[in-house]
Each structure stands twice: as C-alpha cells, then as structure tokens.
Chain A
Amino acid sequence: MGTVGLIVALTCGVTACSVIPTGGKPISVGNPRKGNPLGDPYARVIAVPPSADWSPEEVVTGFRAAMASVDDPGRDVARKYLTDAFAREWNPQSGVTVYKQDGKQDQYEKAPPVQADAKQTRVTLKGTVTAMIDQDGRYWPKGGSLNEPFTLVKGAQGWRISAAPEGLMLSEADVDRAYLKVDLYFLDSAWQGLVADQVRVPIDPTSNFAKTAVERLLKGPSSLLKKAVNSAFRPGTRLIDVTTENNRVVVDLTKPVDSDRIGPMSAQLAGTLAELTKGGWGFEVRVEGKLYYSDSLLAIDAQQHADFDPWTAPRDVYPYYLADGALQMLGKENVGQPVQGRAGEKDGSRTRPAISGQGQVAALSEDGTKVSVAPLAPGGEWQDWVTGASLTPPSWDRYDTLWTVNRPTGHSSVVVRRDSRQQYQVWAPDLNAVHVTSLKVARDGVHVAVVVKNGTEEEVKIGTVVGQGNGTRITDLQSVVDGDGNQTIKDIAWKDGKTLYVLTGKSDLLEASVAAEPKTLASDSRIESITALDGSLLAGAQDDNGNRQVLYWNRTSAKWEPMVKDEKGTVLFSEKDGPSFPAYPLG
C-alpha cells in the first residue's frame, strides 16, 4: 500500500512540474530578417481556358490574363481563346507590347451592343503604350496611345478571337508579375569596371529568382552592350543550380573560368545577385557540384563587386565646387577648402570644372574655346588640352581620358577624346550632323549620355562607347528624354552606370535610364547645374539676387537644402561668386 501511495504521490509531483524550462542563458538565433536570397515572394496568374457563356469583353480579358501567365511559355491556354485558324498563325514570341490603362476610363472602346444572334464582333483595347520588351529582355520605353482591335467570332463553344495584334499585349501590372527586373553586370573592355545591363527576364515558377538571374547572366549581354562589354564566363558555361548553404549562396556551374578571370567573375556574380541578396549573403562558386579549387572553396564576399570596382559604391568621395573663381573641395564639416596647385588659386577665367578619378581637374574657358587641365597637387599648372571653335563642358572617364565635343558650326559636332599624350577623334556618325550641347561619360566607362539640339528642342540620348584610342566609337544611341514641347536641357549628371539625372530648362529634375520611363523628381527654378554620385545629388543654384550656393537633395524631407558653410558656419547664399558648379569625380 505504501509503495502505491508513494508512486501516486511521485507521479502527481512530476506532472505538476512545468515542461518548458525557465531561466537559463539567452539563446542566440540566426537573424531571420536576412530573408531569402533566392527570391522574394511573388504571385502569378494562372491561365484559365475560356468559358462558353462569356461575353466578348470577358473573352478578351481572359485572353489578356492568359497571355500574362508565366506558367505556360508556349501560351497553350491562351491559344484556346483563339479560333483554330488564328491559333496556328499567332506567334507569342514576336515581342511584347506594354501598355497602361488608368482606372478612370473604360478598358474597352464602347462597341455597339452585341445582338443575340450576331456571329462576329470587335472589341478594342484602349490605353497608352509605355514600352516594348525585345527578345533580349531589353525594356524600351515608348510612347503613344493604344488602340488595338480584337475581332471575335461566335462558334459552338462561345466567342473566340479570330484576329488580334501581333505578339503579347501585357499591362504594366502583368509585366511586373511576369518579369523579373535584373541588372546583369559585365566587364568593360579593360576588365576593370562593372557595367550594368538592365534586362527583364520572364519569371520561371519552376526555378527561383537567383537561378533565373544567373542563367540570364550566362547568356551574355543584351544587343546594346554586346560589342562594348566582356563576360568572364567561358562560352557554353551552364548553370546547374543555385542554393543556399552556411549563409552563402552557392552557384553551381558546369565550367570554371580562366584562372585570371576569377576576380571579374566573382564581381559579376556578386553584382548581379546583390539586389536579391540585399548584401546580406556571401557567395560560393562550385563546378559540377564540387569545390571550385580541388582543396578549397571559392568564397565570394557579399560586397565583392564594390571591392572590384570602387565606382559601383564609392565611399569617402568629396565634391568639388567653384567659389571666388577657385576650385574648392568640400571637406567633412561641409566647409570648403581651396585645392592644391594652380586650380585652387583665384582665377575666374574658367568654368564648368570636371574632376578625374586620379586627381586632375579639367575646366572650360569662359569663351568655350579651350579645355584646360591641372593636377590637384602642389605646383600643378594649367595646361591647355583641347582647343576648338566651341567646346562643350569637359567630362572624364574612368581611364583618365578627357571627353569634349567641338562644334565647328551650329549643325555639326566632333566628339574628341584625349589622354595625357594624344588627342583622338571619336567615330560617332549619329552626332556628326547635329548640335551636341553636352556629353557625359558614365563612371562605368561604357555608357555615354549626350544632349542633342534639334532645332529648338533638345533631347537626351544614351549610347555605348566601344573601343579605345583611335578606334573609339559611340554606338546605339537611344533617346531617353524626348524633346517634346520645345524642352531644353540645362545639365545632365550620371548617378551611377544606369541612371542619369537630367535638369531641364524649366528646372525640372528627371531621373532617366534606358530601361524605364523618365521620372520627375523635383523642380527648383534656382538650379543651374547638377552633379551626382550614387546616393548624393548636388546642385549649383543662383537665387533671384544672383547669390550662389550649392544645394543638396535631402531624400527624407524631399527638399533642396543649402550645403556649403562659410567660415562662420552659416549656410546661406552668398555673393555672386559664391559656391557654384559642384562636381563629383567622373560622371
């Protein structure tokens, strides 16, 4: 009896104790906010075959949804919306038209009401065309209104489309769902800098975003950059898989790269995947599932691309500006300091300075006939590098060569490139017969932006630099800001290799790129010039009284704010030759 009692008492006592422990040391858990490096969550449209009782408008809506379905690359379900004859000739691969509809107006043109016994009808899709997507995945912004007719006939199974526009018609939302925006990174001709190639890749639900991106990277650059950039991967390299392991994204390839291309390849991968991994994940490359080196793994730092090419994420780079006719460098406390050498001395005969990556300044003479260069070092003297009838403000590229455009007449332009020894003429057939008002080479050394004057209106084009020295060419110029409505352009400045800030004559600030429509940021009538570097955007401004100051764009308050402090620590606009023409190195 006693034993039974003891057992009962013990059982009760033990079960009364709590199961979950209290106290003890805090347990460290891996950071769950690091997210999934292989892709963000997304939603996709599932194509549904048409139903017999749908109205013609509903059939067209269903067809549009079916075209937007990524599940089915051959668009087999979409074909079910078509009559048999049209389904055979319809080619979904022949390009993508992107359109936009604002919700306030009807999606379709009002057609005469369909009679119950009608055998044929027409539905017209209304909207605005915004872009085309080509085979390479390049997104070409475009304008124009959308007015696409769909002809439908009534068959045994309800309405079917018998004629429709060529290719796929996708709304912006559809493109957002069906395409992944990727910046592919390639290398410039000198294998030193990273060049971004902005493409859209169809989302593959059987794969993940990282895999899709790397697969596209291995396919090579889009046609625009094909001649200007290199890829470290050997031709025919394929991707086996992208996985995560030990806080690293593991990229498994079929072939290794040449031994001197490991650095460039690492930078390409890190740059391409940086947006997906948000900088929180390192990388590792394997070949055929095995470690890259026979005895050790090839680990790639998350910021490898920034280490490889400092200009992709520059740090500790200070802006320069003109004040009192002398070049000043803005120090840490936003207090200016004259630079060393002759450029730091009061002069006033030169304007529009441009700073090179290796400590040289180039400036345009007041009359626009001379571009002079001075080293930013003690004893650095001005030297005239380029002379011409009418020169544009100078621009440096990352190879330490100077670019400017000479305009012998009002309707012709010659692009000039000069390094420390020699001057070259750049072959740019598209620019020879127009008036170029500005030319800026991007920090990647490949992209170039030009402002072209066409009668009274000015437009901004972005092109590609191919070759070095005498063989330099500017090709594939593509308009990014149209000159609609007599628009003039005051200044342009590269943010990085992809984005260009454009200051219009009405002092509107636009953000333009080859892969998107220009976006309006802010306008301030006082601004006369701009410069930018990555996240920082500066403007030289002149108020109504002619006083000058350098402004910076405060992103949090979305306002322009004065920047340069004088000796007393105030940041007000000051006299006529106060701080003006800010310039970051390159760009």
Chain B
Amino acid sequence: MLALIIRRVIQSVVVMLTVALIAFTLFRFVGDPIAQMVGQDTSLQDRERLRQELGLNDPIMVQFGNFVVNTVQGNFGISFRIGRPVNELIMERMPATLELSLIAALFALLVGIPMGVYTGLYPEKWLSKLFLTVSLMGISLPTFLIGILLILLFGVILGWLPTFGRGAVDQFGWWSSGLFNADGIRAILMPAFTLGMFQLTLIMRLVRSEMLEVLRTDYIKFARARGLSNRAVHFGHALKNTLVPVITITGLQLGSIIAFAIITETVFQWPGMGLLFIQAVDFVDIPIMATYLILIAAFFVIINLIVDLLYFAVDPRLRVERAVGGH
C-alpha cells in the first residue's frame, strides 16, 4: 500500500511539472511579457534592462528552473493588468471560491446520492421518473442559464435574495468568510445552488446506473436467496458496492466544481478566483492565467490522492496484496 501511495505521489509530481511547463510556456511565449508590462513610450534600453532583470535572456532550461522554484515558493509574479503580486490577488479571492465550491459540493452530494439511490432501487415509481426528468433538464440547462433564471425569479421579480456579490464577510486572519452571518448566507444560496445543480444531476445519474448495475450482480441475487431483508440487501450490500465508482467520479467532479465556478462567479459577480481568471483571459494577463492553472492542477492532484486513499478504505481487494489461502 505504501508503495502504491509513493507511486501516486510521483505521478502527481509529474503531472504538476507538466502543468508548470505549460504555464511557463504560456508565460514565456504567448505575447511579449515586456510589451505587456511597460507602456508604449518605454525606450529600447529600458526594455532590454527589464528583460535582463527578469531573466528573460537566460537559457530556457534555467528560466524554467527559476519558474518552478518561484512557483514552489509561492512567488507567481506580478499581474500585467492590476500591477500587484499575483499571489496576493489569489489569496484574497481564494476563500470566496472555496466556500462557494464547498457548499455547492455538499448540496450536490447530500441531495444527489439519496436521489440516485432511490431511482436505482425503485425505477418504476413515479417519483423516480420525476427525478429523472428533472435531472435530464438539469444537465441540459447551462449553468449560467440556471443562474440567470434564479436571478430573474428571486432577485428581480420576488426581490428576496441579493443578485450579486458575497454580502457581508467576517475576517478570520487572511480568510474571509461569508458563512457566519445572515447576509453572507443569503448571498451564497443562489450561487451555490447554481453551481451544485449540474454536479447534483451527474451524481444522481451515476449513483442510479451503478445501483442498477450492482443490483444485477450474483452476490445481490445470492444475498436475496439467503433471505436477507430488503433493507440489508439494498443498503448493506448494494449501496456499499456502488461507492467505489461513485467516489472516483465524485472526486473528479468536486475538482471540476472549483473550475466551473468560473461561470457561476461571472453570473453572480462573485469575487472569487474564477472571476479573476476570466478577467485575466479577457486581457491576456498571463501571470494570473498561469497561476490559476497551476492552482487548479494542484487541487486536482490533491483530490485525486484523497480519492485513491478512500478506495483503500472501501475496497478490501486493494488492501491486501494478494490472496492468502490455497485449497
């Protein structure tokens, strides 16, 4: 098991280096960093001096090495557009995105899994058919449209909820949280629902199809033949076996929630990293784009590692290297 974890960590490092390379390539070769940083009237000498200072005249491998070292130290350079260090900008925005993603993920899991189990167990009931119809609409409605409809209904027509921003936040060290006051909570409801909706439908449909698959297996038939109660068969045996694939996909989905937050943050003008990123794309603000990319990759790698560890907790076949007994 330790060997496997080490292998996964090495793989993760390779992934991170690949992403760093892409980010570096972006940094170095897309557009001219100098032209982005200085005004039209800067002299050629000044440009050359800046080039020298920034190390842009060093060999490429040295530049990449410096880039990786800087990245590891949390030094992501200075935004072309805003003119402030990128890590400051990101740190300011991160709590907003993480809180939004977390609430959305909890919503998707806590509602999606029970719905999936129900529709898997009772595919013929009318409630299942209703859930399935709603879920199909859920994956067909674009995220931003859900957000817009919510704004129209609860913001514009009913006027119940704020239509943009985070509301009031409390400061805990560098972390700013909107979850500890009513205003902040009111502000997060619509964005979290919007962001979680798509994941909810995905999780529900996944749990349902896994449940249907598992219910057809021999061990479930045999569990029935042993006379176990429906509850024991469904929740003791079937549900646990659906967990393995559900954990994988859900893990990946949670990662993509953070990325999909870009859209939700744009709709609700939510002051998170996604909004920062999309503005950066608009202005080709490479340092912010590259940093965001690396950060998202890091989140993914960490989530993947956690998913792998969860596998071990659920599936005993992975825990034991190989079968012990003979005949």
A, B from the same assembly: no
